[in-house]
Amino acid sequence: MEDHLEYVVNLLDSKKKAAPNGSPMWSARDVMTILGYRDWRSFKEVIEKARVACDNSGRFSGDHFVQLPDMVGIGSGAMREMENIVLSKYACYLVAMNGESKKLEVATAQTYFAIQTHRQESQELLSEEERRLLLRDRVKDANKKLSGAARDAGVTNSKFGIFHDAGYKGLYDGLGVRDIKKAKGIDGKDDLLDRIGRAELAANEFRITQTEQKLRNEAITGEQTAIDTHHRVGVQVRTAIKEIGGTMPEKLPPEPSIRKLAAAKVKEERNRLKTEE
């Protein structure tokens, strides 16, 4: 069962696509095959049951079950429409729950989506500090990728500090890391990203990821050009915040250091692993 679960999970993950808003979605034709159905007509009956369940749950099924025909070749270059439906994660969950549970594939998919639902519920129950820690870790990872892109663009080790400070200066109206800490009353020894809140972390993550993409997508080369690009992206993110009426990042208050929470999480994980041994 565990091997089959891994097999079905890998299939579902490999067929998963991203909707325009970034949420996961699946082709009903793909899900049909994964759940062990061969006939579209039979599988569509399962989809209709899931659609009714969706409406009965108080959600609009049209948001989760979207008709989107495929175009298939029928020879000599001619094409015809083949009925298909795009399913949201919630729709997939309902389809699995309304499938024939005697099918091993369906039972396995039910387990998969039950796990996914549990994870989402757990995420929703996270405290503000835990959400901040997750976001801080994402920013930390994004910074590593940005450093790689900067190195590829020609930024040398001696200029890495200047490169990263340029992004901050663009976002914080000319303030580098040292000046930002001073303005916020943060100890100079503290990592700035450990002392800021989610809104500020999100703005920095956007600055970082957009700079990395710009450096790579436009194949930017040259140390000073890369530095200027980072500064320009920072300015553009600042402009976007201003246009939507947000608080400028340098005006946001500092937060208690996230390091204590991170240390507690590490200790908790170590204790869990010891318990499982």
Looking at residue 237, what is its pLDDT?
93
Q: How far apart, in Å, are the Cα atoms of 158 and each of 151, 165, 223, 269?
A: 11, 13, 11, 37
pLDDT tens per residue across all 277 residues of the chain: 445 556 777 888 888 888 777 778 899 999 999 888 989 999 999 999 999 888 887 788 888 999 888 777 766 777 788 899 999 888 888 898 888 877 788 877 777 776 666 565 555 545 677 778 778 888 888 899 999 999 999 999 999 999 999 999 999 999 999 999 999 999 999 999 999 998 899 999 999 999 999 999 999 999 999 999 999 999 999 999 998 888 999 999 999 888 776 666 666 656 665 665 5
C-beta pairs of 17-22 under 8 Å, 24+ apart in sequence: 19/86, 19/88
Using CA of residue 91, residue 97, residue 101, residue 106, what is the dihedral sign? positive
Task: Record the pTM.
Answer: 0.54
Give the bridge partners for 129, in sequence order.
none
Q: Show the 3-state SS of the chain.
A: CHHHHHHHHHHHHHHCEECCCCCEEEEHHHHHHHCCCCCHHHHHHHHHHHHHHHHHCCCCHHHCEEECCEEEECCCCCEEEECCEEEEHHHHHHHHHCCCCCCHHHHHHHHHHHHHHHHHHHHHCCCHHHHHHHHHHHHHHHHHHHHHHHHHHCCCHHHHHHHHHHHHHHHCCCCCHHHHHHHHCCCCCCCHHHCCCHHHHHHHHHHHHHHHHHHHHCCCCCHHHHHHHHHHHHHHHHHHHHHCCCCCHHHCCCCCCCHHHHHHHHHHHHHHHHHHC
Question: Quick one: tokens of 225?
Answer: 């050009």
